[in-house]
Amino acid sequence: MNKRWKPNVTVAAVIAQDFDGVQKFLLVEEETRDGLMLNNPAGHLDMGESPLQGCVRETLEETAFHFTPTAIVGIYFSRFERTQPGQAEPLDITYLRFAFCGELGAHVAGQALDEGIVRTLWQTADEIRAGTARHRSPLLLTCVEDYLAGKRFPLDLITTDPSVLL
């Protein structure tokens, strides 16, 4: 087999805030081919940006909130197969996700959310655990659980060579 494997690189923000003594996580509800699903603010890394820059951009695009990463929660691999109409072979996709936590900044009033994003919402860890059937990715819960377990790694764990940046 001479096919080169190229995982999809994604970034995600794990954003927690206290609401009257109850910790909640910022999620996005988005339209997918499987219906309305929930996810961390997340998306694909664009050419010419570092994972940190990609996470800041994706969070703003999907939530209309500025975000300042302060730590890496984890680096994750996941894989799934999806049937394709008219195709005998399923689509086999592998993701490499960099998940960051940090500080939520100002909301940008009037900013449209990314295509497919219906709304943002805040959920407790228990609500997230109870709603796994609506998770776009199993990594949503994994990232939240790792955050709750205190997993934090320094941002300089990831080095982006200047040759990558546009």
User: Does residue 92 sit within a domain?
Assistant: yes
* Domain of 32, in residue numbers: 8-157
pLDDT in tens, 17-33: 999 999 999 999 999 98
Task: For residue 3, tell me if it sits in a domain.
Answer: no
Is the pLDDT at 2 greater than 80, yes or no? Answer: no
Distance linking the first and last C-alpha atoms of the chain? 33
| Residue 98 neighbours by CB under 8 Å, 6+ apart | 9, 10, 11, 12, 45, 51, 54, 55, 72, 75, 158
The string of DSSP codes covering 60-113 is: HHHHSEEEEEEEEEEEEEEEEEE--TT-SSPEEEEEEEEEEEEEEEEE-TTPPP
pLDDT in tens, 48-87: 999 999 999 999 999 999 999 999 999 999 998 877 788 8
Compute the distance between CA of residue 104 and CA of residue 121 in angstroms, rounded to an integer.
14
The answer to whether residue 62 sits within a structural domain is yes
Q: What is the CATH number of the domain that holds 20?
A: 3.90.79.10
Residue 67 in any domain: the answer is yes
The answer as to whether 15 is a domain residue is yes
Please report whether residue 2 resides in a domain: no
pTM across the whole model: 0.92
Domain-located, residue 13: yes
Number of separate domains in the chain: 1
Does pLDDT of 88 surpass 90? no
User: Is residue 163 in some structural domain?
Assistant: no
